[in-house]
Structure 1
Amino acid sequence: MMINFSCFAQQINDDSLFKRANQEYYNNPNESIQIVKQLLKRERNPDKIIKLYLVISSAELTKGNFNASLQYLFKARELALKSNDPKVQTTFFITIALQYEQMELDSKTLESLDEAEQYLAKIPDGTYHKYFEIGRINLVRGMISKKQNNPEIALQRFQTAVKSFEKIKEASKTYYNQSILFFYIGNCYLDLGSEEKAEKAFTKAYDLAIITDSNSLESYALKGLSQIQKIKHQNNRALQYLKDAEERGKKTDDSKLLEEIYKEMADNYLAMGNQNYYQLYSKKLQELQFKREQLELSSVNESINVQNKNALIKTQELESTYKNLIILTLILGCSICCIISFAAYKLMKRNRQNTREIQKILRD
């Protein structure tokens, strides 16, 4: 009885830790990574291991460690393909699509979304998971359309995602994704020159971000609102939004977010004719870009080294197999030669015996 209670208590603790890791992988990726590694040591359920790999992969991506992120995704993929749960498989392929989108691997993103939709079709209609994943698929497809300079198509995707999320009764579970959605909707309206609609969308994104207590989402929404003020030539107000965004952005490890903020700050100071602050934030931007590029380069080099190492191992395995094949061929060849020689010897011996018998008969 005590053992059962202990196991039950451990499960509750692990579930709480997983929830925290999943919530913190963007704001505090190092803590998230530490928690997941701790949970992986004792987790035996393959479907839960997939979820842990996805969280730690997202955390590594937040830090800019592309290679580590991909390695965990590959591990998750192996397990996902063996799973019998379409919900787990759908979630995996949508999550990996989001990862590829952040890495700007658009073809891989779309490929993963196509795979996700195959498993999505197996989830019953009218369920939470069905609505949630339809929303996420349209969110990612909209992000790709936005990147390809198709804001009208992107808006259609985003609106479809919003409608799908709105069908979910547990609305609070959608706030995080909806905040991202409305941020992108705001950017689409900016591209289309509809500043008023864009401002409403950014405000909605910010309100949802506040509820989710996400520094990164709040920072992105504030950056969006600053762009509206810049268009209106309200540069001081734009800078206030950006300073608030910077304060929240520094609490995350999102280098790209801070780069975008510093670029906006530099642009606003330039518009105001303040050369000193323009140069200050331009320098901060360059330093961040250099640091991120070095990290990405290091990650790429590490990935190449891993691939070279794997290629070397495969080559050695092939060489070993080839050597074994040669030895086996030689042994087999020798065996065949021995068999043929023995058969020939027996035949010659029999022929000599037959010859003697024929000669004997002829003499008689």
Structure 2
Amino acid sequence: MGKRIFFIGVIMLSIGLDAQHQRIDSSIDAAVVDVYQDPDRALKNSTELLKKVETVPQQIKVYRLRATAYLAKRDFSKALESSLAAEELTTKLQDKVQRAAALNSLAILYQQMDLYAKSLELLNEVDSLLMNAAKHNQDDFEQAKSLAIRGMIYRKQGNIELALEKLLAALHRLKLQQLDEANTANASVICYNIAYCYLDLNKTETATEYFNDALRLAESVGGESLKAYALKGLAEIYGRQERYEEANKLLLKADELSHDIGDIILQEALYRLLSENYLQLDRLALYERYYNLYRQFKAKREKNETESIEAILQLQSSQADSIIAKAEASYHRQLRGRGLIGFVLLSFVLLFIYRQITENRKLKRHLEQKLRQ
């Protein structure tokens, strides 16, 4: 009877804990929605969530949320700080697919901060984890994310053909999954990047198709930021085709959608394109207005990039100091180890010599006695 009561108690406790975990997960999901709509509110909510979370996966989620919110504000230094906190926590995860998912999300953050080597390093670890993990429903999703991040990095590095190969493979894997809200948003991002690859290859018609796909997917999940990026891409094509009025309508719509998000890079791009188009239309007052806005946001971006570089250099310096400290500690351990081994060997040698001397003395005395006889 006692055991039965104990088991019922455990089940009730588990249900209570699960419900509590679900409430926290729901709060995290709600905060994620705010990231691109209201990053400041997302950060405020995440500060409260850090006091409540109980599991390592939840802690990682909150730090990833904070890093993403700081990225939306283009505060690279704090984004990096939150990313490193999340990365440190991933070492505590035992489930390989869970760890791969966490590292994938961090790789995205590093990619957005232009830390490509760090991002690729994590992606290599993701691929290794997924290769050695038992088959899991989430595998295809994580592999799709890994391929997509690689594609975005290769595109930034100018390797368009390889980028396109990875992005198309990522989209194919993602379509094998159930297209829920998160997967649909990811598919929109991938289509947007595929479109730019085709635009870089001067395949305008195909690029237009993928920008429209990105827009359609973004609209289906109500992603304001995603819609703004897709509209910007279409407007860029219209600008190349000298359809400046049509392009500006899309750009102004994108500006309206993204105005409160605080994405400096997006706004800089929108104002640059608007100023160029108004110049082509000889509407100089509007050209001057948007050119000044473009310069303001460009200055903000460059300031943030400078802070980002300083943060990266500080990170590299601290990592180098850590490596040096570990190397020195290892060296001293080896010296101590070698010293101990040397001491033991020397002791055996000295003992052997002492015994030999003692035996020789005994033999000498024995011979002297023999001679006297």
User: What TM-score results when the alignment is normalised by the length of structure 2?
Assistant: 0.77
Please name the residue that 2:41 is paired with. 31
Please name the residue that 2:217 is paired with. 208
Unaligned runs of 5+ in 1: 313-364
Q: Which of 258, 262, 269 lines up with 1:249 in the alignment?
A: 258
> Cα distance, 1:155 vs. partner?
1.3
| In 2, Cα distance between equivalents of 1:140 and 1:110 | 9
Q: What is the one-letter code of the residue matched to 1:33?
A: L
> Aligned ranges for residues 333-352 of structure 1 at < 5 Å?
none
> Aligned ranges for residues 86-165 of structure 1 at < 5 Å?
86-125=96-135, 127-165=136-174
Unaligned runs of 5+ in 2: 1-8, 322-373
Q: What is the one-letter code of the residue matched to 2:88?
A: E
Q: Which of 56, 60, 66 lines up with 1:50 in the alignment?
A: 60
| In 2, Cα distance between equivalents of 1:278 and 1:266 | 5
> Cα distance, 1:172 vs. partner?
4.0
> Cα distance, 1:283 vs. partner?
0.7
| In 2, Cα distance between equivalents of 1:46 and 1:244 | 41
Please name the residue that 1:186 is paired with. 195
| In 2, Cα distance between equivalents of 1:240 and 1:23 | 27
Partner of 2:91: helix, strand, or coil? helix
| In 2, Cα distance between equivalents of 1:261 and 1:96 | 27
Write out per-residue CA displacement over residues 313-362 of structure 1, whole angstroms, 9 at most, x where no aligned residue.
xxxxxxxxxxxxxxxxxxxxxxxxxxxxxxxxxxxxxxxxxxxxxxxxxx
Q: Give the stretch that moved more between structures: 4-13 or 68-77.
A: 4-13
Q: Give the stretch that moved more between structures: 192-201 or 291-300.
A: 291-300
| In 2, Cα distance between equivalents of 1:96 and 1:210 | 26
Q: Which of 12, 30, 33 lines up with 1:20 in the alignment?
A: 30
Q: Give the stretch that moved more between structures: 250-259 or 299-308.
A: 299-308
Q: Give the stretch that moved more between structures: 235-244 or 224-233.
A: 224-233
> Cα distance, 1:300 vs. partner?
5.5
> Cα distance, 1:128 vs. partner?
3.1
Alpha carbons of structure 1 residues 123 and 27: separation in structure 2 relative to 1, 3 Å:
farther
Partner of 1:128: helix, strand, or coil? coil
Please name the residue that 1:272 is paired with. 281
| In 2, Cα distance between equivalents of 1:271 and 1:124 | 58
Alpha carbons of structure 1 residues 206 and 111: separation in structure 2 relative to 1, 3 Å:
same
| In 2, Cα distance between equivalents of 1:89 and 1:4 | 24
Write out per-residue CA displacement over residues 218-254 of structure 1, whole angstroms, 9 at most, x where no aligned residue.
0000001111211221110000000001101112121
Alpha carbons of structure 1 residues 109 and 250: separation in structure 2 relative to 1, 3 Å:
same
Please name the residue that 1:77 is paired with. 87
Alpha carbons of structure 1 residues 12 and 144: separation in structure 2 relative to 1, 3 Å:
closer
| In 1, Cα distance between equivalents of 2:317 and 2:148 | 36
Write out per-residue CA displacement over residues 261-283 of structure 1, whole angstroms, 9 at most, x where no aligned residue.
11111111122122222221111
Identity %: 29
> Cα distance, 1:120 vs. partner?
1.8
Alpha carbons of structure 1 residues 10 and 193: separation in structure 2 relative to 1, 3 Å:
same
Q: CA RMSD in A?
A: 2.8
CA contact (8 A) 2:28 2:61 kept: no
> Cα distance, 1:304 vs. partner?
7.2
Alpha carbons of structure 1 residues 4 and 150: separation in structure 2 relative to 1, 3 Å:
closer
Please name the residue that 1:64 is paired with. 74
CA contact (8 A) 1:123 1:129 kept: no
| In 1, Cα distance between equivalents of 2:123 and 2:196 | 23
Q: How many residues align?
A: 314
User: What TM-score results when the alignment is normalised by the length of structure 1?
Assistant: 0.78
Alpha carbons of structure 1 residues 134 and 5: separation in structure 2 relative to 1, 3 Å:
closer
| In 2, Cα distance between equivalents of 1:86 and 1:283 | 50
Q: Which of 239, 263, 272 lines up with 1:263 in the alignment?
A: 272
